[in-house]
Amino acid sequence: MLKTLDLNTNQLHGELPQTISNITSLTAINVFANNFSGSIPSDFGKYMPSLKFASFSNNSFSGELPPELCSGLSLQQFAVHRNNFTGSLPTCFRNCLGLTRVRLEKNRFTGNISDTFGVLPNLVYVALNDNQFSGQISPDWGECKKLTNLMMDGNRISGEIPPELAKLPELQRLSLGSNDLTGRIPASLGNLSMLFMLNLSNNHLIGEVPRSLTSLKGLQYLDLSNNKLTGNISKELGSYEKLSSLDLSHNNLSGDIPFELGNLNSLQYLLDLSSNSLSGAIPQNLGKLSQLEILNVSHNHLSGRIPASLSSMGSLSSYDFSYNELTGPLPTEGVFQNASARSFVGNPGLCGKAEGLSQCPTTDSSKSSKVNKKVLIGVVVPVCGLLVIATIFAVLLLRGVAHAIAYLHHDCSPSIVHRDISLNNILLESDFEPRLADFGTARLLNTDSSNWTAVAGSYGYMAPGHRETGHAAENFRAKCFKC
What is the tens place of the pLDDT at every residue in 167-207? 999 999 999 999 999 999 999 999 999 999 999 999 999 99
Q: How confident is the model at residue 389 (pLDDT cuts 50, 70, 90)?
A: low
Domain limits at 459? 391-482
Q: What angle do CA 205, 121, 127 make, to 5 degrees?
A: 45
Position with higher pLDDT, 237 vs 429? 237
- pLDDT value, residue 245: 98
Tens digit of each residue's pLDDT (9 = 90 or more) over 24-65: 999 999 999 999 999 999 999 999 999 999 999 999 999 999
Decide if 475 is inside a domain.
Answer: yes
Q: Residues 199-216: what's their mean pLDDT? A: 97
CA-based end-to-end distance of the chain? 137
Decide if 459 is inside a domain.
Answer: yes
Q: How confident is the model at residue 327 (pLDDT cuts 50, 70, 90)?
A: very high
- pLDDT, averaged across the chain: 86
- pLDDT value, residue 390: 66
Residue 428 CB neighbours (<10 A): 11
CA distance 249 to 273: 5
Tell which residue, 304, 301, 337, 327, has the closest CA to residue 319. Answer: 337
Decide if 397 is inside a domain.
Answer: yes
Decide if 414 is inside a domain.
Answer: yes
Decide if 48 is inside a domain.
Answer: no
Q: What is the CATH number of the domain that holds 432?
A: 1.10.510.10
User: Which 3 state secondary structure label does DSSP give 447?
Assistant: coil
User: Which 3 state secondary structure label does DSSP give 410?
Assistant: helix
**Count of structural domains within the chain:** 1
Q: How confident is the model at residue 359 (pLDDT cuts 50, 70, 90)?
A: confident
Decide if 450 is inside a domain.
Answer: yes
Q: Count the helix, strand and coil residues of the chain and give each as a percent rounded to the nearest 5.
A: 25, 25, 50
Query: Which residues, at least 6 apart from 282, have a Cβ–Cβ distance to it below 8 Å?
Result: 257, 297, 302, 304, 306, 307, 310, 321, 326
Decide if 467 is inside a domain.
Answer: yes
Q: How confident is the model at residue 429 (pLDDT cuts 50, 70, 90)?
A: confident
Q: Residues 249-257: what's their mean pLDDT? A: 98
C-alpha dihedral sign at 453, 454, 457, 459: positive
Tens digit of each residue's pLDDT (9 = 90 or more) over 269-286: 999 999 999 999 999 999
Tell which residue, 412, 420, 454, 453, has the closest CA to residue 436. Answer: 420
Decide if 451 is inside a domain.
Answer: yes
